[in-house]
Amino acid sequence: MISLDFNFNVLTRDLSLYLENQVKVGLFGSGVLSLVLGFSAAYAYYYLISVAKKPQLISGGKKFYQFLRDQCPVVSETYYPTFWCWESRIQTLLRPFVTAKPGVSYRNELIRAADGGQISLDWFDNDDSASHPNSATRPTVLLLPGLTGTSRESYILHMVQQSRELGYRCAVFNNRGVSGETLLTPRTYCAANTEDLEAVIEHIQRTNEDAPLMAAGVSMGGMMLANYLGKKGRETCLKGVVVFSAGWDVFACTASLEKPLDRFLFNSYLTSCLQAGVDRHKSVLEKSYDIDHVMKAKTIREFDERFTSIMFGYPTNDDYYHDASPIHKLKSVQVPMLCLNAADDVFSPCHAIPVEAVKQNPNLALLITCHGGHIGFLEGLWPRRSTYMDRVFKQFAKAVIEQGGDLNDLSS
């Protein structure tokens, strides 16, 4: 290992003199090559000093903190973002295109909800599991995609692949109306309402009574999981939860996404995706909502003001956003929950990451990387097969399922 402990001012001075002398050789001599090599050396130094860093691990209790250090070595390792795309927005935008989509065959199940609607659940049964051949006791991982995501998102497919390697079964909870099923009632979903999630968890538990169950949520799926745990306390069968790129304070998240560049890159696109879902089920929804007004929304906030908050009976959109923000419910979480956020995530700004709230609850742990964007966490020269987020998921899932006894009574 080459030591990086030397004076940066000396390096830059010597490098500047070196490049100045080399450029004098001419543009068509060794000067160009030397300039490129010099720039590469400077970039590599900057990357190793300022970009590649160990994540910050925060927990409200020593027991959970030590468990993670012992069972999940990834939390103590330096995260090396892909060197040519470590910037937040680039990580966020590129992940769907550069990461591979593992082949996964699902078994779909439609669950009838109490209000007459239906919920689409995609199962990966993993009947070829060598480590858990008995289907009755095979561990199950419940996966929750993001705002408009389905079981076909690359990050979900990667977690299914990681679970397959561990010998576990997966169930992907698709929010109402997003995965091709018919919307039977004029109701979709939101981050604050966890009734459908509760129905799914109860259904999975009834179906596989002897199988341990844990859950992983991404972005809004993580927010929904955190809100569910905050409401249920100890009254849940989940053995553990891991949450990726969750938005903890919806007011801060929407404000961040309304900045000009982020509105252009992300907000407008996500708003159009939400509107496409409404338009797809227009025949059912137009009886209860002003669809034309909804379709004129330009931002997620405007969409929520005109549609989501009204659907779920909130007096104002601010009331909905307060209820949807998991930061207000973290003190009530009684199940081990690991949360991964990147400090540069524009969807979940750094100042709104609930560091102090996590410190007050021994059941919570927060892993913060300097880079990674929103559901990015790309690493390696060409990050097709695995990401830092995938490694966190796999190690934590294995730890919860196979060493979960060590997580009993984290308050002691």
* 219 is an active site residue: yes
For residue 241, the cross-strand partners are 215, 337
Contact 392, 367 (CB under 8 A): yes
The one catalytic residue among 122, 129, 323, 374: 374
The amino acid sitting at 124 is F
The one catalytic residue among 219, 245, 256, 325: 219
The one catalytic residue among 256, 345, 371, 390: 345
Of 135, 204, 138, nearest in space to 166 by CA: 138
Residues 224, 229, 231, 234, Cα dihedral to 10° = 160
Tell me the backbone φ, ψ of residue 169, rounded to 5 degrees.
-95, 150
Strands 364-369 and 238-244, how do they pair?
A: unpaired
* 345 is an active site residue: yes
Instruction: Give 190's Cβ-side CA count (13 Å radius).
Output: 24
Contacts from 15-18 at CB under 8 Å and sequence distance 24+? Answer: 15/41, 15/42
Contact 174, 145 (CB under 8 A): yes
Specify the DSSP element, H or E, that contains 397: helix 388-403
* 328 is an active site residue: no
Catalytic residues: 219, 345, 374
